[in-house]
Structure 1
Amino acid sequence: MQWRGRRGSSNVEDRRGMGRAGGIGIAGTLVVLGVGYFFGIDVSPLVQGMGQEPQGEVELTERDEEWGQFVSVVLADTEEIWQPVLQDQAGLAYQDPTLVLFRGVVQSACGGASSAMGPFYCPGDQRVYLDTDFFDMMAERMGAGGDFAAAYVIAHEVGHHVQNLTGVLGEVNAARGSLPEAEANLVSVATELQADCYAGIWARHAQERFGTLDVGDLDEAMRAAAAVGDDVIQANAGRTPVPDSFTHGSGAQRQEWLMRGFDSGDMRECDTFGAGIL
């Protein structure tokens, strides 16, 4: 991916140096978090409270700094792409989100969260929250490394911000509370697949405008999309995949909608809610 030497975003809030996680420490925390995400187990109860008592500033490593620069450039690209695309295709003004880099645990307008949840978007404060150690875990534990795989993750979360601006996210969150679990899961799947499709739109326009993609970059994103499919996560946990329990979609679905967005570059092609998924 061509990203070095490019403009970075001013909308990045870096909290990674604010303090060490308490209890078992950073290294132990990453082991717990890695096991939790890779094996499809929510281990957030095991890490709640960690990091809430900062133990002094933490010096960022050279790798931390590089990830910070990378995230800033990718976020800047999403800003430059979505400003005209959202206006032209949906008649809406794009509002830049803030991306918060954190380590271990974080507080957001949506409540406290840990890295065990993976990257997430909070509509309450229009912020994307990301622990960059997740990228290393993708490479080492999930077979989904590469800079464009990481860019796909960021673009997916920004896709949720686009959904928030269009009103889809608010409607979904309001509806899910009144639906039976299986139906609520289907709505959740449609929401996540649309964010994948929007990530594909970003990739398409970024390539056309900036020449971002290197050979093999799309393959990296496709491997990442498959690796975070519910069926793959459940299978890696030693469980039989249960489609009714899916909340993000299968690996194949995530790949399909990512490529729909990339091939079309058009938000109208991202109507996962009307595509027979529900």
Structure 2
Amino acid sequence: MSTFLVTGGTGTLGHPVCERLRAAGHEVRVLSRHAPPYTVDLRKGGPLLDRALRGVDTIVHCTNILRGDDQAVRNLLDAARRAEVPHLVYISIVGVDRVPLPYYKAKYAAERLIADSGVGWTILRTTQYHDLILRLLAGLAKPPVMLIPKDVPDQPMEVTEAAERLAELAMGEPAGRVADMGGPEVRTLAELAAAYLAATGIERRVVEVPLAGKAYQGLRDGGHLAPEQAVGRVTFEEFLTARFGARAGTGAGTDTPAPPPKAP
């Protein structure tokens, strides 16, 4: 039996990672900003972080910090070196080195810090999770007209599939940068919006809006996609069906019918 510390272990990704590690018979410690006993803000560090890492074999860094992720990684790495933790597994995003979004830049900086740290490391990049796309579309659907960035593709995947792969990597030896992991289909945001409206019964007119800037161009060019690594199995429509019921994907309740899936 090994001992794991999962940062963000109460979150969307971290929780299923913990479940899989425990199911394999390992001891799992959960570090979170809100949940005891290891209530730590990684951007600040502190003695409780050192206590959490005592005797840990592998850190699985799942904390999602929108601002300050690179500083959190610095503090985590410093504490890992003090505790002589032999392996750190980091979840990143496909395209962090290609799409100039501020959050992506911070994730890429964190990757470089880990690679240069002297701690054994494994980095997995995945495409966006269904849950994130759902939150995005729910927000965009609040006004009477649903404005969608024009010609932006996405490749969403089921978070539990990412958790399964992350747990597998955590139970292995440091492997460096492993193969990216993508969802089963490349779809446009407009198509995903139509599927969301069909699933929820919300009636909205979808209007695609062209945007400006290098980040938008990077997304239009598919810098955040991994079509050659479309290893995910659960489609967005299947995710919606599980969340909202059998009407998902039927096209009912919206003036924009759900399109058929596209091949990646």
**Structure with the largest fraction of helix:** 1
Larger Rg: 2
**Structure with the largest fraction of strand:** 2
Whether TM exceeds 0.5 here: the answer is no
**TM-score of the superposition, structure 2-length normalised?**
0.30
